[in-house]
Structure 1
Amino acid sequence: MKLQTEKGVITISSDVFTNITGAAATNCYGVKGMAIRSTTDGLVHLLRRESMAKGVKVIYNDDATISLELHIIVDNGVNLMAVSRSIMSEVRYNVSRATGVEVKSVDVFVDSMVIG
């Protein structure tokens, strides 16, 4: 994504958005980690800290905003609605604050629940 300022052009890569989003989401209560569905066996896998950005998809909108899709794994017994709202709020705030880009929407997909 390119941002025009009075001093020049700033280019922000997708990796910046995915790393900020992954870090913000995993810091929320009840989130065990980011998830990815394996193409070989179709199972959902918990991503390690260094590769958690794979659980995030960035969509660039025509109006210079972005939309984010997150795939997460949560702890058993948490209120899914409360956790999802917390993630949406935290991600929207952190991405906007760090990059200056408006976040149009944040979609949270709970792929799995971990017991214990």
Structure 2
Amino acid sequence: MKLQNELGEIRISSDVFTAITGSAATNCYGVKGMAVRSKTDGLVHLLKRESMAKGVKVYYNEDGTVSIELHIIVENGVNLMAVCRSIMSEVRYVVSQTTGVEVASVDVCVDSMRF
């Protein structure tokens, strides 16, 4: 993503967005971690901290905003709506404060629940 200001141009890679998003999401209550669905066996796997970016997809919109899609694994017994709202709010806030880019939407996909 390119941001233009009076001093010049700033380029933010998608790796920055995924790292910030993954960190913000996993810090929320009830989130076990980021998830990825295996292409070989179709099962959902919990990602380690080093590879949590695989559970995040960032889409760049024409109007200079970003849309984010998260795939997560939650703890058993949590209120899914409350956890997802918390993640959406936290990710939107942290990404916009850190990068200065407005977040158009945050979609949270709960792929699995861990006991």
- TM more than 0.5: yes
Aligned-partner Cα distance in 2 for 1:5–1:90 = 26
* Cα deviation digits, residues 12-56 of structure 1 (max 9, x gap): 000000000000000000000000000010000000001001100
User: Which position in structure 1 is the counterpart of 2:60?
Assistant: 60
User: Which position in structure 2 is the counterpart of 1:50?
Assistant: 50
SS in 1 for 2:110: strand
Aligned-partner Cα distance in 2 for 1:9–1:92 = 23
Aligned-partner Cα distance in 2 for 1:53–1:101 = 19
User: Which position in structure 2 is the counterpart of 1:71?
Assistant: 71
Letter in 2 for 1:38: S
- Deviation of 1:77 after TM superposition, in Å, equals 0.4
- Deviation of 1:99 after TM superposition, in Å, equals 0.2
RMSD: 0.3
> Which contiguous aligned blocks of 4+ residues in structure 1 show a shift greater than 2 angstroms?
none
Letter in 1 for 2:44: V
Letter in 2 for 1:36: V
Aligned-partner Cα distance in 2 for 1:29–1:72 = 12
Question: What is the aligned length?
Answer: 115
- Deviation of 1:5 after TM superposition, in Å, equals 0.9
Q: Which runs of 5+ in 1 are unaligned?
A: none
Q: Percent identity?
A: 80
TM-score with structure 2 setting the length: 0.99
